[in-house]
């Protein structure tokens, strides 16, 4: 890289950044022209639509903007998070309204037999017919079907590992022919795994006891008694 010619050298002129080409998209059946490459959610704003439902963290974590879309000349309906997906010419999309899935109500700490309780809380879970529609619907690429099977067979650890990416968008639910809400099943299973089947961390218990026993009291007295200069010096000495 020639340092003397920095400004022209250190420039990314990727096509998609350079051009402001307009593309035609279709939102809930109506056509619009928007700049290519903007996200689906920005396309909604660009076309003048107020978004209250369907926008949350805008960072791909909250699942509020679960969206169905299709690309040009392809009948396949896909799913995405609207804040994480760029529009392309010929794309057609609709934000999905939250699906009325039933969430079981439970007291996680008072469960006596969490693996058995799954069948009481979500009796539909073992009815999975292996159709794989949930996996296909997952914008996070989780193998949802396998997760449901693991849950039913009691591999709670396996499920919790698989569903760490789950943003609870719920796109797996409306496609299920057995009326399972796989994300809710997985959430129950993960919580049960954490609360009942994961080792209690000894070091944490020890630290809680040390604090309760006043083991740091002398240090606190010393630190809180320092003047501003002494405290600044002490902080500066930390490496």
Q: Which of residues 40-99 bind other proteins (CB under 8 A)?
A: 42, 45-53, 55-62, 64, 84-86
| 67 SS3 class | strand
**Rounded to the nearest whole angstrom, what is the least distance from the CB of residue 87 to other proteins in the complex?**
10
**Rounded to the nearest whole angstrom, what is the least distance from the CB of residue 52 to other proteins in the complex?**
5
Q: Quick check: 70 and 123 in contact, CB under 8 A?
A: no
DSSP type of residue 1: -
Q: Based on CB atoms, which residue is closest to other proteins, 18 or 76?
A: 18
Q: Quick check: 159 and 192 in contact, CB under 8 A?
A: no
Which member of 26, 37, 115, 124 binds other proteins (CB under 8 A)?
37
Q: Angle at Cα 156 formed by Cα 121 and Cα 115, nearest 5°?
A: 40
Should residue 16 be labelled a site residue for other proteins when binding is judged by CB under 8 A? yes
Q: Quick check: 140 and 60 in contact, CB under 8 A?
A: no
DSSP letters of 28-45? Answer: TTEEEEEETT-BHHHHHH
Should residue 4 be labelled a site residue for other proteins when binding is judged by CB under 8 A? no
**Rounded to the nearest whole angstrom, what is the least distance from the CB of residue 132 to other proteins in the complex?**
21
Q: Angle at Cα 103 formed by Cα 99 and Cα 104, nearest 5°?
A: 160
Q: How many residues bind other proteins (CB under 8 A)?
A: 83
Q: Based on CB atoms, which residue is closest to other proteins, 131 or 235?
A: 235
In the sheet that 22-27 helps form, which strands lie side by side, from edge to edge?
30-35, 22-27, 92-95, 66-70, 78-81
**Rounded to the nearest whole angstrom, what is the least distance from the CB of residue 133 to other proteins in the complex?**
21
**Rounded to the nearest whole angstrom, what is the least distance from the CB of residue 209 to other proteins in the complex?**
9
Could you tell me which of 102, 80, 84, 101 has the C-alpha nearest to residue 92?
Answer: 80
CB atoms within 10 A of CB 184: 20
108-167 residues near other proteins, rule: CB under 8 A: 108-109, 140-141, 160, 164-167
Q: Based on CB atoms, which residue is closest to other proteins, 6 or 119?
A: 6
Identify which range of 68-76, 104-112, 122-130, 146-154 contacts other proteins by CB under 8 A.
Answer: 104-112
**Rounded to the nearest whole angstrom, what is the least distance from the CB of residue 129 to other proteins in the complex?**
26
Which member of 29, 203, 213, 227 binds other proteins (CB under 8 A)?
203
What is the C-alpha end-to-end distance of the chain, expressed in Å? 36
């Amino acid at each position: 890289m020639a340092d003397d010619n920095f400004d022209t050298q250190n420039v990314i002129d990727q096509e998609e950044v350079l051009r402001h080409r307009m593309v035609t998209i279709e939102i809930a059946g109506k056509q619009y022209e928007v700049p290519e490459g903007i996200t689906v959610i920005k396309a909604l704003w660009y076309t003048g639509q107020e978004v209250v439902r369907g926008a949350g963290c805008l960072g791909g974590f909250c699942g509020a903007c679960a969206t169905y879309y299709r690309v040009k000349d392809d009948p396949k309906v896909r799913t995405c998070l609207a804040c994480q997906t760029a529009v392309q010419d010929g794309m057609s999309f609709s934000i999905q309204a939250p699906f009325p899935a039933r969430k079981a109500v439970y007291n996680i700490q008072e469960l006596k037999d969490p693996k058995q309780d799954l069948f009481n809380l979500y009796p539909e879970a073992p009815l999975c017919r292996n159709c794989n529609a949930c996996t296909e619907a997952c914008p996070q690429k989780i193998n949802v079907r396998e997760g449901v099977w693991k849950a039913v067979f009691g591999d709670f650890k396996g499920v919790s590992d698989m569903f760490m990416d789950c943003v609870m968008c719920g796109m797996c639910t409306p496609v299920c022919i057995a009326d399972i809400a796989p994300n809710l099943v997985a959430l129950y299973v993960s919580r049960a795994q954490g609360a009942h089947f994961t080792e209690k961390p000894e070091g944490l218990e020890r630290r809680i006891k040390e604090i309760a026993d006043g083991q740091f009291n002398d240090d606190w007295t010393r630190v809180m008694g320092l003047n501003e200069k002494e405290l600044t010096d002490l902080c500066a000495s930390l490496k």
